[in-house]
Structure 1
Amino acid sequence: MTGTPPPAAPPPAWEDLVTAALLGTDRRTPPGAPPGRTAPAALLDAAAAETVRRRAGLRPGRAAPRPEPAPEDPRPALPAAAVRRLGLLLADRPGSGGSGRRGTAPDLMELLPQWLAAANSRGFAAPAEALPALLDAARGRTDLRPAALEFAGPRALWLARLNPDWRFALRATPGGGAVLPGPEETDRINQLWQEGLFAERVALLAAVRSRDPDAARELLATTWPTERAEDRLMFLDSLRTGLGPRDEPLLEQALADRSRNVRATAAELLSALPGSALAARMAVRAGACVAVDHTQDTPTLVVEAPHECDAAMERDGVVPKAPSGRGERSWWFGQLVEAAPLASWQARLGGRTPQEIVALPVADDWLSELHAAWCRAAVRQRDADWSRALLGVPSAPEAGGPGAVSLAERAKLLGTLPAGERAEWVAGFIAAHGLSEAFQLLGVCAVPWAPPLGRSVVDALNIARDAGSYPWSFSGVMGLAERCLDPAEAGRLDALLAIPDEPEDASPGAGGYWAEAFQRLGTTLRLRAVMSEELGAS
């Protein structure tokens, strides 16, 4: 009687074969193979057979639904020349050499931010074929992202949902690129505010605030008591846009918030409203600390800092604990002066103008503390008159002005002045003090630089060349000049291209390096002019 053949042994599991390969056939015999010298060959045969079996038995995956078509971009198309220029800018990559010498060729990647700003100002749409390279560039440089995503438009968000490498575009766009309801869609606005994700609600509040500050504040008030502390802080920060007297009741309510950060932000915003009740309270407190002493030959300001930080002060945003190394009384005093309306000092100090107040001597080494607080107040309240008084004339010794305590403070004060006046002040600073401390100040000037400022920068660079130093000592200013100097100044650089005779104490070869740097600057300016023409500039 013929017996039933035994069932075939099941094929070895792939995991068992991998384990045998990792441990070695001397330690682990492959499944179904005899031990010994033939084990390695048996392992390879089994792995080959299992590979074929796995492939043959692979079940096809379910067909995924096709993605929705990319949204249309209604903006006008780029001119053909500008499309070619964009391709060149995106194809450029920073050099990998270790030398600090840059040569005479323009740095195209540094021109890309300017090109994007110009294209956005003219309302052009990005060509579809350039979007992947544009998103790759923005992925590697966070400073490019706002302008690049604005230029790329809705199709960039469509692509970002399909490629994990570009997900930053969704994070960088408030609400993840969701289409926000229009001003007439009140039901959708209320529904999104009540039910939306946090990012969507932030985007919605910002959009409503930009077009109707009162409506945004009323929307926020409907859910204010039930919001989380960290969310209240973000929502409150949106009130900076269009901040006005009607925001005061909500901000006063926020002064009693259980979150210290929310209270501090509310106090800061109220102090930026000179007519607010908090500003009036701070004016009384700060005014009680400062008086004019007429008993001396010259009227002198005397300061009596507060001796305690009471509960009312703390409620109005005064932080009681001083930073390490800072005296408590001076810390409290600075916060009071910073939050007091600047207009209150003229009434408090005998009707003097800001210039006259700032010029008064201050007793007992309180000058730097008092003036630094006035600087912060002038920046917060956007008071140009006080900024001028604190800046002083740019030709003053060390250009410190009577009240600015640092270059950073001066840069902030300059930001409150009109663009033309700002450029004129910085030009005077450079003419008097050179470029060594001008970098921060140049960064707050409008682009392109006004002609007087541009001339002062070129003249100061020429003076530095004649002094025999190397150009990379001024690489920061030179880089700013490439981006900010008016292209019309390119002609003035032609006279600086010759290699001058080097004085005996000059750095070896400095003249040649300067000629190279000026040639690169001139080439960059001319390229910027061509780029502007390609975009259809008038």
Structure 2
Amino acid sequence: MTRTSAPVDAPGADVWEGLVTTALLGTDRRTPPGTAPGPEAPLALLDAAAVETVRRRAGLRPAPAAERLQAAPEDARPELPPAAARRLAMLLADRPGPSGGGRRGAAPDLTELLPQWLAVANARGFAPPPQVLPALLDAARGRTDLRPAALEFAGPRALWLARLNPDWRFALRAAPGGGAALPHLQDEGGVRQLWQEGLFAERVALLSALRSRTPAAARDLLATTWGTERAEDRLMFLDSLREGLGPDDEPFLEQALADRSRNVRATAAELLSALPGSALAARMAARAEACVAIDHMRSAPPRGTGARDDIPGGTPRTAPTIAVEAPHECDPGMERDGVVAKAPAGRGERSWWLGQLVEAAPLGTWSRRLGGRPPWEIVALPVADGWQGELHAAWCRAAVRQRDAAWSRALLGDPSAPEAGGPGAVSLSERAKLLGTLGAAERAEWVAGFIAAHGLSEAFQLLGVCAVPWAAPLGRAVVDALNIARDAGSYPWSFSGVMGLAERCLDPSEASRLDALLAVPDEPENASPGAGGYWAESFQRLVTTLRLRAAMAEELGAA
């Protein structure tokens, strides 16, 4: 018996969903479009599903006949080694399974290894096999954190595909200028024409590209149309000046301080305060100095000593105290220089103004103002009348903005100190930002000391700012702390975040050191039931993941 396939309607956005609904309801209750109820309906549904499956996999939605597509652009980068190509296909095919109440099992999470694989492949300059591009774009569509590395690896063919499938349009939005080709930066006529006539995304991309190559040329181009730009556009364009910011940008930024948009003025002030030699920085320093001084008449014992040192003659020696007199008003000059007059809910106006002044003042101001003391001595001075938290928090923000490592060290303090830190490190977030101003080795050493003294309960955010792979001292500190947590008899799920970081960040060469942790330990008397087995399972996953990372690097020729 010969069966004729039922006609299938042209696909729409909801064709697949309609077929799925028909399958769930059954063809007795609902038939595919163009099909009459009866014994042929189930076969017609399968035919329609097969056709729609091919359409969905093709990467191009059917449309009326049009001009033939141009071929995809060439990718001149070298091809992936065969083993690395197979590994990529495996990583893209993996899907995260459902959570089992916090238990992850011993198998590596391949989806978490994909970002690291992409980083190595991009560093080596490889091009992807064409057949994996749809899966790569699908993966990037579902994970915004994956997009920059995935699109860099996918190369020009990703943009070619993205123009054919609306599901992948995010690739065009993420590409400079929405995927449009920028003129050669030496082509002054083409650059000026695109700047005057291009779409907003194209102009942002052009300005960013020019700024990274020739900062002065980008600033001069922006100045040609600055007065006619919309406020929201001026803000975006001004933000591009962060790249290559230098003293030559000061005149332009000073003019932007008079902008009619408050957000533009605030951004200009922030950029100028990052230039310690700018006129704005000097004005803010003068204002801040008027608020902060040494009070020799009201002194206190040196902090942390518990006693006074004797000086000749038997007179007890006391440490000077920092006295603070916050501003009583926010005058027009302060507002012009970026001080926001209205305090947020729950904040006092005077403390709000003080914090902004201190944050914007060059940190070199304080050694001169406070008796020539270095940062660590200044931070150790007591502060009168409860102003310590506000003053030190502002110094933290200034150290981060000005990338001042000496002040960051002083504010961080010794990692083994109670509550882990200097008086300015008011939160883990502040500490993480301060650590970001230090070199990778020093950062890792500080976090290792923190973990050794305080364990892992507060270390997750600090570990996130450390360079990958972790330096050996940091890796050892993390493993030792996990081992201590295991011996305490608790379940490993409380440390799943740190364990996940270790899988991605621990140096693969550490795998051999972990073999001793794979056995199920004897459980202490007060241990949680079965905790030892769960810990052994977690360490097995860690070791397997590290060895898999080592294999991935070798396949990419980066071992």
Match for residue 518 of structure 1?
539
Kindly report which structure 2 residues correspond to 1:373-522, keeping only aligned pairs within 5 A, or say none: 373-522=394-543
Q: Say what the alpha-carbon RMSD is for the aligned residues.
A: 1.3
> Displacement of 1:63 after TM fit?
3.1
Kindly report which structure 2 residues correspond to 1:23-42, keeping only aligned pairs within 5 A, or say none: none
* Cα offsets for 1:247-283 (capped at 9, x unmatched): 1111111100000000000000000000000000000
* Cα offsets for 1:272-323 (capped at 9, x unmatched): 0000000000000000000101123320000000000000000000000000
Q: Distance in 1 between matches of 2:483 and 2:161?
A: 48
Aligned length: 481
Q: Distance in 1 between matches of 2:213 and 2:536?
A: 51
Contact 2:389–2:423 (Cα < 8 Å) also in 1 = no
Match for residue 199 of structure 1?
201
Contact 2:411–2:421 (Cα < 8 Å) also in 1 = no
Q: Distance in 1 between matches of 2:382 and 2:99?
A: 55
Match for residue 35 of structure 1?
none
Q: Distance in 1 between matches of 2:468 and 2:319?
A: 44
SS in 1 for 2:371: coil
Are 2:238 and 1:217 aligned?
A: no
Give the letter aligned to residue 155 of structure 2.
Answer: G
Match for residue 271 of structure 1?
273
Instruction: For structure 2, list consecutive stretches of 5 or more residues without a partner in the other structure.
Output: 1-35, 38-62, 300-317
Kindly report which structure 2 residues correspond to 1:56-205, keeping only aligned pairs within 5 A, or say none: 63-205=65-207
> Displacement of 1:480 after TM fit?
0.3
Contact 2:415–2:449 (Cα < 8 Å) also in 1 = yes
> Displacement of 1:400 after TM fit?
2.8
> Displacement of 1:62 after TM fit?
6.1
SS in 2 for 1:449: coil
Q: Distance in 2 between matches of 1:62 and 1:276?
A: 61
Which range moves more in the overlay, 210-219 or 449-458? Answer: 210-219
SS in 1 for 2:293: strand
Which range moves more in the overlay, 150-159 or 291-300? Answer: 291-300
Q: Distance in 2 between matches of 1:370 and 1:249?
A: 30
Kindly report which structure 2 residues correspond to 1:241-260, keeping only aligned pairs within 5 A, or say none: 241-260=243-262
Q: Distance in 1 between matches of 2:170 and 2:405?
A: 39
Q: Distance in 1 between matches of 2:533 and 2:482?
A: 14
Q: Distance in 2 between matches of 1:62 and 1:434?
A: 64
The counterpart of 2:387, out of the listed 361, 366, 372, is: 366
Q: Distance in 2 between matches of 1:425 and 1:537?
A: 29
Q: Distance in 2 between matches of 1:377 and 1:478?
A: 33
The counterpart of 1:227, out of the listed 226, 229, 232, is: 229
* Cα offsets for 1:469-489 (capped at 9, x unmatched): 111100000000000000000
Q: Distance in 2 between matches of 1:411 and 1:63?
A: 57
Match for residue 55 of structure 2?
none
TM-score by length of structure 1 reads: 0.88
> Displacement of 1:96 after TM fit?
2.7
Q: Distance in 2 between matches of 1:91 and 1:521?
A: 21
The counterpart of 1:313, out of the listed 299, 311, 334, is: 334
> Displacement of 1:191 after TM fit?
0.7
SS in 2 for 1:291: strand
Q: Distance in 2 between matches of 1:487 and 1:435?
A: 21
Q: Distance in 2 between matches of 1:123 and 1:209?
A: 24
Divergent runs of 4+, >3 A: none
Q: Distance in 2 between matches of 1:293 and 1:97?
A: 59
Q: Distance in 2 between matches of 1:537 and 1:513?
A: 33
SS in 1 for 2:322: strand
The counterpart of 2:363, out of the listed 320, 326, 342, is: 342
Contact 1:439–1:476 (Cα < 8 Å) also in 2 = yes
SS in 2 for 1:299: strand
SS in 1 for 2:323: strand
SS in 2 for 1:292: strand
> Displacement of 1:174 after TM fit?
2.4
Instruction: For structure 1, list consecutive stretches of 5 or more residues without a partner in the other structure.
Output: 1-43, 46-60
> Displacement of 1:184 after TM fit?
1.6
Match for residue 535 of structure 1?
556
Which range moves more in the overlay, 507-516 or 399-408? Answer: 399-408
Which range moves more in the overlay, 393-402 or 403-412? Answer: 393-402
Match for residue 301 of structure 1?
322
Q: Distance in 1 between matches of 2:118 and 2:283?
A: 47
Match for residue 46 of structure 2?
none
SS in 1 for 2:543: helix
Give the letter aligned to residue 404 of structure 2.
Answer: D
Match for residue 18 of structure 2?
none
Instruction: Sort the Cα spacing of 1:460 and 1:115 in 2 relative to 1 into closer, same or farther, 3 A.
Output: same
> Displacement of 1:98 after TM fit?
4.1
Q: Distance in 1 between matches of 2:64 and 2:448?
A: 68
Contact 1:400–1:406 (Cα < 8 Å) also in 2 = no
SS in 2 for 1:294: strand
Contact 1:274–1:341 (Cα < 8 Å) also in 2 = yes
Give the letter aligned to residue 370 of structure 1.
Answer: L
Q: Distance in 2 between matches of 1:81 and 1:502?
A: 42
> Displacement of 1:537 after TM fit?
1.1
Give the letter aligned to residue 543 of structure 2.
Answer: G
Q: Distance in 2 between matches of 1:293 and 1:99?
A: 58
TM-score by length of structure 2 reads: 0.85
Give the letter aligned to residue 508 of structure 1.
Answer: P
SS in 1 for 2:104: coil
Instruction: Sort the Cα spacing of 1:304 and 1:97 in 2 relative to 1 into closer, same or farther, 3 A.
Output: closer
Match for residue 13 of structure 1?
none
Q: Distance in 2 between matches of 1:254 and 1:246?
A: 14
> Displacement of 1:127 after TM fit?
1.1
Contact 1:286–1:336 (Cα < 8 Å) also in 2 = yes
SS in 1 for 2:118: helix
Percent identity (aligned): 82
> Displacement of 1:100 after TM fit?
2.2
Q: Distance in 2 between matches of 1:182 and 1:500?
A: 64
Q: Distance in 2 between matches of 1:267 and 1:520?
A: 50
Match for residue 372 of structure 2?
351
Give the letter aligned to residue 412 of structure 1.
Answer: K
> Displacement of 1:504 after TM fit?
1.2
> Displacement of 1:97 after TM fit?
4.9
Contact 2:502–2:542 (Cα < 8 Å) also in 1 = yes
Q: Distance in 2 between matches of 1:200 and 1:122?
A: 29
Instruction: Sort the Cα spacing of 1:62 and 1:135 in 2 relative to 1 into closer, same or farther, 3 A.
Output: closer
> Displacement of 1:396 after TM fit?
0.4
Which range moves more in the overlay, 148-157 or 397-406? Answer: 397-406
Give the letter aligned to residue 135 of structure 2.
Answer: A
